[in-house]
Amino acid sequence: MAAGLPHFSVGWSRSWGRDTFIAFKGNLLYSGMFKEAKEIILSYASTLRHGLIPNLLNKPNSRFNCRDASWWFIKSIKDYYEFLPNDNLLNE
């Protein structure tokens, strides 16, 4: 979640889907930041388009140019449920 710092820390280039979900388990789940993890999953879920997670999240000009971001997203949901098996994430 710190890829490209300091250049990618503000403005249009600050939220990268692929990098977020690659680092998701280590940065959020192992550190106990479950509320933040859930918010990130739900936020990105709201941006799905044709089954793709945006590589660069910049509404309304998000870039859907990464084919494996969606797989990392799905893995992050799986990892989330390993830490919180009784959560209602999928119902939200």
Q: What is the mean pLDDT of each run of 10 residues along the chain (92 residues)?
A: 58 76 95 96 92 83 88 97 94 89
Q: What is the domain count for the chain? A: 1
**Is residue 7 in a domain?**
no
Q: Residue 91: what residue type? A: N
pTM higher than 0.95: no
**Is residue 9 in a domain?**
no
What is the four-CA torsion angle of 6, 29, 61, 71, rounded to 10 degrees?
Answer: 120
Q: Residue 54 belongs to what domain range?
A: 17-85
**Is residue 59 in a domain?**
yes
Q: Helix crossing, 69-83 with 34-45: angle to 10°?
A: 140
Phi, psi dihedral angles at 18 (to 5 degrees): -60, -50
